[in-house]
Amino acid sequence: MGLFDEIAGKVIGAIGGGSGGEHAGLIDEIMGMVTSKSTGGLSGLLNSFKDKGLGDLIQSWVGTGQNMPISPDQIQQGLGTEQIQQIAQKLGVSPEIAKSKLAEFLPVIIDKMTPDGKIPEGGLIGKALDSLKS
């Protein structure tokens, strides 16, 4: 089993259901967003949500307490319509399904990437992947 399969298995297990293969494309898209240097990685993604009035919600995912849920419409607000459409097209699903699945997976992935309640400094990818593996 490869590292990606381990990550997918942990996220699917945390959400409770489905198979890793069924959601692999979506997890790959999210991992791309949180590790992309061109968009600022995890910090850039979180700042995008904060700038759009969703800071408290995002902070609950980073913090060590319970994750607040996010609605599909809030996902669209945080990411923007264009990014939702791009993800939906890559996955071959409607934008509504993409938003719904992102609302389900994004909090879990961000929570797993920030196990100490803060955004890892330097070496983000290694720390995040190690966290997701454990």
Domain with residue 43: its CATH number is 1.10.10.690
Q: Rounded CA gap, 113 and 127, in Å?
A: 8
- At 82-133, the pLDDT tens digits run 999 999 999 899 999 999 999 998 998 888 888 778 777 654 455 555 555 4
4: confidence class by pLDDT, cuts 50, 70, 90? very low
Domain that holds residue 108: 3-133
- pTM recorded for the entire structure: 0.75
Number of domains in the chain: 1
Q: Which residue has the tokens 């459409």?
A: 85
Question: Is residue 103 within 8 Å of 96, Cβ to Cβ?
Answer: no
Question: Is residue 124 within 8 Å of 44, Cβ to Cβ?
Answer: no
What lies within 8 Å, CB to CB, of 59 at 6+ separation is none
3: confidence class by pLDDT, cuts 50, 70, 90? very low
- At 30-56, the pLDDT tens digits run 888 877 777 788 888 889 999 999 999
